[in-house]
Structure 1
Amino acid sequence: MIIKSQKDFFSGLLYACVGGAFAIGATGYKIGTSARMGPGFFPLLLGVILALIGLYIMFKAMVVKTPDGDKIGSWAWKPLVFIIAGNVLFGILLGGLPSWGVPAMGLVVAIFGTTFVVSLAGDTYKVKEVAILATILSIGCYCAFVLLLKLQFPVWPTFITG
């Protein structure tokens, strides 16, 4: 069969691979039954559903004709680099790197750092708007994770809180 929509085909392939990997990984846990679910039941179910959605999208990409074939464009390197760098920075700022002597900076600093780095991935960058967004995200995450869920992790840098 000929692929009639490259974008749909490869996105469906990605869904099917990720779903299959989750389903296979979930078999390492106790599955249980639908009446008494084990820890692997939900990831297995989600993985199978995601894989089936991916297979459906791949099938549709080979059957439904699109006007230009939905060719895949070039890689968007700038957003890819800044978003991955922002995620790595979040982990480093939240937990620190003791082997390199970098202390844990806490949730608030991690969110601010990540927001400023990831915002560089877009076409426009306005410091005032990014600062407002980082402030709102920090307050929201503090309320959700620390106040409501009572999670125990550093909120402020360790050299401030002791």
Structure 2
Amino acid sequence: MNDRNLARGLFLVAISLAFGLTAMRYPIGGFDRAGPGLFPLMVAGLLLLIGVITIMRSRFIRREPMEFNVRNIGVILASLCAFSLVSQFVNMIVGIVVMVFVASFAGKTRYSVVRNLKIAAGLVCVALAFQKLLGFNLPLY
């Protein structure tokens, strides 16, 4: 199997099944009173749908060879480690910004500070929404 699109779909299905089956161990509840397993189960269901669509789509488009870029994998892992360390010792907002700037070195397009700031601002807004609207305990500042 040397088809990147098929592998991508199979990977999404595997991840969604792992999280979905784990979420089934927790009480699901209902939409009026959600249990701790409802949100991960919903996300896993959507991810499963995307994975199945990706697998079906891979049968109709041209095959793309799979390639592994070890440098990019290392850059992404380094960005996640930097996020963790900066969030621990400074705060999570700075950690998000550092993660975006480090991870952008793995991209194929030209490095853009403005684009990175926009992405970081969007992620900070999502984190703030999770903290303020959903009540998540995130140490953002």
Q: TM-score, normalised by structure 2?
A: 0.66
Q: Percent identity?
A: 25
Q: State the Cα distance separating 1:120 from its structure 2 match.
A: 2.5
Cα distance change of structure 1 residues 109 and 42 upon mapping to structure 2, 3 Å threshold: closer
Residue 91 of structure 2 is matched in structure 1 by 106
Is 2:75 aligned against 1:90?
no
Counterpart residue number, 1:74 = 67
Alignment of 1:11-160 (within 5 A): 11-33=8-30, 36-62=33-59, 64=60, 66=61, 69-95=62-88, 104-107=89-92, 109-123=94-108, 124-125=110-111, 129-130=112-113, 133-134=116-117, 137=120, 141=124, 145=128, 149=132, 153=139, 155=141
Which stretches in structure 2 are left out of the alignment for 5+ residues? Answer: none
Separation (CA, whole Å) in 2 of partners of 1:152 and 1:58: 35
What displacement does 1:48 show? 3.1
Mean CA deviation greater in 36-45 or 17-26: 36-45
Q: TM-score, normalised by structure 1?
A: 0.59
State the Cα distance separating 1:17 from its structure 2 match.
0.7
Aligned to 1:100: none
In structure 2, what is the Cα distance between the partners aligned to 1:94 and 1:51? 31
CA distance in 1, matches of 2:38, 2:119: 36
Query: Aligned-residue CA RMSD in angstroms?
Result: 3.9
Question: d(CA) in 2 for partners of 1:132 and 1:11?
Answer: 26
CA contact (8 A) 2:100 2:119 kept: no
Could you tell me whether the CA contact under 8 Å between 2:25 and 2:37 is conserved in 1?
A: yes
